[in-house]
């Protein structure tokens, strides 16, 4: 079986508010801007992209589970679930796909509770604090791992 040339982009709670939520931290780009950048970045490397954003953890878990069928990897910005969700971590581990974790802000330079990520030990790519452009970086790095051009 050949590896599908598709990635799942997962954006967690409150990321639907990009562009209006705390622009001093997250910038003025919207979620639509993020998805357009991610789609274009993946396409430039010959990959399709399916995007999901939800404020409901179960919707994100279902999308991650479904990715087993037709995706080669997952790019995720879990939002606040980064620091709280063992079940999200377990879903990512359970599907056994390569994962890139991305955060718009530098979470290590923010409040102490943001310093721990339940996703960190599952992800093979970590991009933090590059703003929205970090999504493109994460996609490029993840595709390099998937295609054997880089180690995870």
CATH code of the domain containing 133: 3.40.50.9100
Q: Is residue 78 part of a domain?
A: yes
Q: Is residue 151 part of a domain?
A: no
Q: Is residue 86 part of a domain?
A: yes
* β pairing state of 125-128 and 73-77: unpaired
Flag whether 33 is marked binding: no
Q: Are 101 and 126 in contact (CB under 8 A)?
A: yes
Whether the per-residue pLDDT at 96 is higher than 90: the answer is yes
Q: What is the pLDDT of residues 61-71, one digit of tens each?
A: 999 999 999 99
Q: Is residue 7 part of a domain?
A: no
* β pairing state of 125-128 and 6-11: unpaired
Question: How confident is the model at residue 48, as a pLDDT?
Answer: 97
Helix (H, G, I), strand (E, B) or coil at 47: coil
Q: Are 124 and 145 in contact (CB under 8 A)?
A: yes
Task: Compute, in degrees rounded to 10, the torsion defined by CA atoms 64, 100, 128, 120.
Answer: 80
* β pairing state of 99-103 and 73-77: parallel
- Can 116 be counted among the known catalytic residues? no
Helix axes 31-44, 133-146, angle to 10 degrees: 30
Flag whether 105 is marked binding: yes
Q: What is the pLDDT of residues 100-138, one digit of tens each?
A: 999 997 877 666 756 678 899 999 999 999 999 999 999
Find the catalytic residue in 56, 103, 115, 126: 103
Domain that residue 122 falls in:
13-146
Q: Is residue 6 part of a domain?
A: no
Flag whether 11 is marked binding: no
pTM above 0.85, yes or no: yes
Number of domains in the chain: 1
Question: How confident is the model at residue 110, as a pLDDT?
Answer: 66
Q: Is residue 84 part of a domain?
A: yes
Residue among 49, 14, 12 nearest 136 (CA) = 49
Q: Is residue 152 part of a domain?
A: no
Question: How confident is the model at residue 1, as a pLDDT?
Answer: 40
Q: Is residue 5 part of a domain?
A: no
Q: How far apart are CA 119 and CA 15, in angstroms?
A: 17
């Amino acid at each position: 079986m050949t590896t599908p040339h598709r990635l799942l982009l997962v954006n967690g709670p409150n990321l639907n508010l990009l562009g209006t939520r705390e622009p001093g931290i997250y910038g003025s780009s919207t979620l639509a801007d993020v998805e357009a950048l991610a789609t274009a970045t993946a396409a430039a490397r010959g990959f399709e992209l399916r995007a999901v954003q939800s404020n409901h953890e179960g919707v994100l878990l279902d999308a991650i589970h479904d990715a087993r069928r037709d995706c080669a990897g997952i790019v995720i910005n879990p939002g606040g679930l980064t620091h709280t969700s063992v079940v999200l971590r377990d879903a990512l581990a359970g599907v056994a796909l390569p994962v890139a974790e991305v955060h718009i802000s530098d979470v290590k330079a923010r409040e102490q509770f943001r310093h721990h990520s339940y996703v960190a030990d599952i992800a093979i790519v970590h991009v933090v604090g590059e703003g929205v452009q970090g999504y493109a970086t994460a996609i490029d790095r993840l595709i390099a791992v998937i295609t054997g051009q880089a180690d995870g």
